[in-house]
Structure 1
Amino acid sequence: MTSQSTCDVLTFNLNNPACARAERQLDYLAARPEPVLVLTETADSAGCDLLESRFSEAGYSVTFPRPGRGERGVMIVSRLETRPLECGVGYLPHRAVGVSVDTGGGALEVVGLYVPSRDATESKKERKRRFLEECRQVLPSGKEGARVILGDFNVLEPGHSPRYRFFQQFEYDFYDWFGQAGYADAFRTHWAGSEYSWVGRTGDGYRYDHAFVSAPLLGELLGCSYVHEPRTMDDRLTDHSALTVRLAVAATTPRLVTDPRRAEESALALF
């Protein structure tokens, strides 16, 4: 397991769980070594309420702008002290959530994105296009600062294999924007082959979940890999693989936390 003194980050698509599945996700996430968890596909729901409250009660820093009714968003959970980071995305802002954590080399910014999915309707296409365009306009350059931007982007890299005719140029352009802005695809710095974070019922694979690191942080990137267990286990936790980013960056502000899996038990013991 990775040392908790580092600023490793995991992104995990919750798939808006019901309470029973949220309990199982909590068990899994609480045992992960990464101190910063970027949880996508959240909602104003009982399952996400459970995760937020149990992590908060255990002393974790939880950043969770509530999505509106029928909407989805991002929650960031951390065993490190965090400061809210204004991402500047005005359209569907709950889908672009950021925090800053202190390290021995200065502030590290962590930005979680949950890009809207779409179908063939023009309204869904325009919704996704508008969100991606706003992100391109307001997210900071990757040429300065220590920053990792990660989550479920619902876009594929232009060279994705297999090639799907459903995807349009504006979606590939969003992936390409990161390289143009000075970011590096953390997974692609270590792996050249095909790997998928979501697999459809027909068995077709898609690399939807991504992590990009800024140029000043690239030298501290130790590795980036998919964690398929949550998706492939018999009683699976979600329909996406998780993605972990390992950084040679030392955290300087850990929080005093307890095990969130025992938070309810601990609360009952007080009475």
Structure 2
Amino acid sequence: MSDAIQDLLFGAFSQPVDDTLAHRQLAVCALNVQGPSVNRAERLAEWLTSTGSNALILTELHPSDGGRRLIASLRATGYETVLPSGWQNAKHFCALAVKGFADVKPADLTAFDGRVTAATLSSKAGEIQLVGIYGPTNGMTDLSSASRADFQGRCLAWLRHNAAKRVVIGGDLNTIEPGHQPPLPHFRDHDYAFYRGLIELGANDAYRAVQPDGEDHSWTNPLHGAQRLDHIFVSPAAGHLTSCTYDHYPRTGVLTDHSAILASIDTCI
């Protein structure tokens, strides 16, 4: 089905967008949407819109009817979507949905097979680069470890050469912080090196910056334990980080199997 027909069927006619929030604040919500069905996509779109976020990072999207419905529903409420090249044929991908910005310039990230999506957002507060990442899942095997290490290395290399001074990075990184509680033995040195590499870029773990003793987790499993896999990293130049919390309703309300992470950044600096 063509995108034009898809938009027509799903009512993707943009409503007027209030640009005032983007002039003073970047309100980011990152959520793994777990390849939604059509029904779940509608519920996800309603919840995502209700957060009041003007920047969404959506991971584990599938090019299915449900994935297309979620994209179209967000467009219908005024969001502009940034999709990776070749997303229609990707197994899963990361998408951005933003609202109220004067200009949105997507980056070329074809080498990441849809797992990394980035765009420069322009408003009266200046330009901010938004980078969404969907890291490979930890399959707890040597093959999974090698795949994650390769992706993490390429991702850090791209960021070192292309990340703007004012950058916000987020998504389901499928990695945890050093000293994670509870300890999770199936994560390896390269996973912690990936986390530290993001810090070394000059970006702060938003949740840890706001809640240094916080004990939230964004994904839980009876066999594999509670894990903080979903993150937002913010460079100081992007603005003043005013809040960062996890909202567990998407997981407890069975919208998806992950909690959302939300951060607010005062960009008027």
TM-score bracket relative to the smaller structure: 0.7 to 0.9
What residue is the counterpart of 1:128 in the other structure? 148
Normalization by structure 2: what TM-score? 0.83
**Match among 120, 126, 131 for residue 100 of structure 1:** 120
Gap regions ≥5 residues in structure 1 = 251-271
Task: Report whether the alignment pairs 1:138 with 2:179.
Answer: no
1:148/1:212 contact within 8 Å kept: yes
Name the SS for the 1:226 alignment partner: strand
Establish whether residue 56 from structure 1 lines up as the match of residue 81 from structure 2: no
Q: What secondary structure does 2:94 align onto?
A: strand
Structure 2 CA distance for partners of 1:53 and 1:88, relative to 1, 3 Å? closer
Q: Does the 8 A contact of 1:36 with 1:80 survive in 2?
A: no
Q: Which segments of 5 or more consecutive residues in structure 2 lack a partner in the other structure?
A: 1-19
2:12 match: none
SS at match of 1:246: strand
Q: Which residue among 228, 232, 241 is the counterpart of 2:252?
A: 232
Helix, strand or coil at the partner of 2:67: helix
What is the total number of aligned residue pairs between the two structures? 244
Correspondence list, 1:157-176, <5 A = 157-176=177-196
Match of 2:57 in 1: 38
Structure 1 distance, partners of 2:165, 2:36, is 35
State whether structure 2 residue 243 is matched by structure 1 residue 223. yes
Distance 1:52 1:143 in 2: 26
Task: Please tell me the residue identity of whatever aligns with 1:46.
Answer: D
The structure with the greater share of residues assigned to helix is: 2
Name the SS for the 1:15 alignment partner.
Answer: coil
Residue 63 of structure 1, CA deviation: 1.0
| Partner secondary structure for residue 60 of structure 2 | strand
User: Match for 1:188 among 195, 204, 208?
Assistant: 208
Structure 1's consecutive aligned runs of 4 or more residues displaced over 6 angstroms after TM superposition are none
> RMSD between aligned alpha carbons?
2.2
Structure 1 pair 215/89, CA: closer, same or farther in 2 (3 Å)? Answer: farther
Amino acid at match of 2:34: N
Query: Retained in 2: the 8 A contact 1:80–1:101?
Result: no
Higher relative contact order (CA 8 A, sep 6+): 1
Cα deviation, residue 41, structure 1: 0.6
